[in-house]
Amino acid sequence: MTLDPSCLEYPNRRRGMDHDLYDWSCILDRNVPAWPSGKPVAAAVLVSLEWFPILPEDNPFRAPGHMQTAYPDYRHYTSREYGTRVGFYRFLDAFNSHGVKASIAVNSAIAERYPSIISDIVSEGHEIIAHGRDMNDVIATGIAEDEERRIIDESLETLERISGTRPRGWMSIARSQSFNTPGLLKAAGIEYMCDWVNDDLPYAFRSGFGEILSIPYNHELSDRQIITVQQHSAESYVEQMKDACDWLASEKVPRILPLHVTPYILGLPYRMAAFEELLGWLSKREDTEFLTASGLAMPYLS
């Protein structure tokens, strides 16, 4: 049987991914702007502060970390709630102890239900990133564009109303986007998004409404991936973060060390000492500074 010649005709057969959202580039070929202090490594702490409805939606798919057993799944629901009741406040104490300003990716349902948490974030000088309305707000191609726009707009409007400031950044549930997402975010006034994990530096995305910055927080270095999925200890997580920092610093040019953490995972009492030790170790390094997502974006947007 002869293959139809049209099977070999593919308009996007080229370097990079099969789309026109950004230009493929090798990190070694870029003119890289320096971080504010001139230090090579930016330790970027991002906290996922999530609210899980007790009834998950599986359309288009169930978000990671969602309810697993038959309704009502109190075991998973209350373990997630531990993060907002207890674990997150351990994080705030740790950040305060080590002079860290973090980016907090917040479901707007958190702001509606627990406005005191938002007040605590703002009063301590941390940054809020929009993170959908709740953990049922998974976005993927196939969702109606008007529905996706409503998710984005309602999330931003709620966080702005309760925090007093409109978020500049966005992180999608499960890091999932549709082909419409970058344009809808840009149209809503978002300057940067944190969903794509294919780099150690920010880079520009195209959209129908102009450029939007992509800030990568490598998923493989997250506490969810290392501790929950790979079943490593908190001490192993810390060792891997230190190894990553040493390697990035050895490259002697600006790089991001992403510290993507979750209150109901790393905020447990038998894991917090390891996380505190990591923050202290990073704060003492002469080649490393803590930056929020907006701090990472600043050299690229100014």
**The domain spanning residue 73 has which CATH number?**
3.20.20.370
Give me the pLDDT at residue 14, please. Answer: 65
> Is there a domain that residue 218 lies in?
yes
pTM over 0.85: yes
Amino acid letter for position 216: P
| pLDDT at position 245 over 70 | yes
Distance CA 88, CA 105 (A): 12
Give me the pLDDT at residue 196, please. Answer: 96
Give me the pLDDT at residue 12, please. Answer: 65
| pLDDT at position 16 over 70 | no
Structural domain including 251 reads: 37-301
> Is there a domain that residue 10 lies in?
no
Give the H or E element holding residue 129: strand 127-130
Scan for tokens 């009492």, then name that residue.
269
| pLDDT at position 40 over 70 | yes
Give me the pLDDT at residue 31, please. Answer: 87
CB 157 within 8 A of CB 88: no
Give me the pLDDT at residue 20, please. Answer: 84
**Mean pLDDT (whole number) for 192-196:** 97
Higher pLDDT, 5 or 45: 45
Instruction: List beta partners, residue 258.
Output: 44
**Mean pLDDT (whole number) for 250-265:** 97
Give me the pLDDT at residue 283, please. Answer: 98
> Is there a domain that residue 19 lies in?
no
Name the average pLDDT for the chain: 95
List pLDDT tens digits, range 200-220: 999 999 998 999 999 999 999
> Is there a domain that residue 11 lies in?
no
CA nearest to 130, candidates 100, 101, 99, 161 = 161
Distances (CA, A) of 102 to 44, 46, 75, 129, 197: 7, 6, 29, 10, 19
| pLDDT at position 134 over 80 | yes
Percent of the chain whose pLDDT exceeds 70: 97
Most distant pair of Cα atoms in the chain: their distance? 70
Angle 290-293-131 from CA coordinates, rounded to 5°: 130
> Is there a domain that residue 237 lies in?
yes
CA nearest to 170, candidates 146, 143, 137, 123 = 137
> Is there a domain that residue 32 lies in?
no
> Is there a domain that residue 20 lies in?
no
- Give the helix ranges, DSSP H, for the chain: 74-82, 88-98, 108-113, 115-123, 145-163, 181-187, 223, 234-250, 269-283, 293-301
Give me the pLDDT at residue 11, please. Answer: 67
> Is there a domain that residue 171 lies in?
yes
| pLDDT at position 9 over 80 | no
Give me the pLDDT at residue 15, please. Answer: 66
Q: How confident is the model at residue 1 (pLDDT cuts 50, 70, 90)?
A: low
**How many domains in the chain?**
1
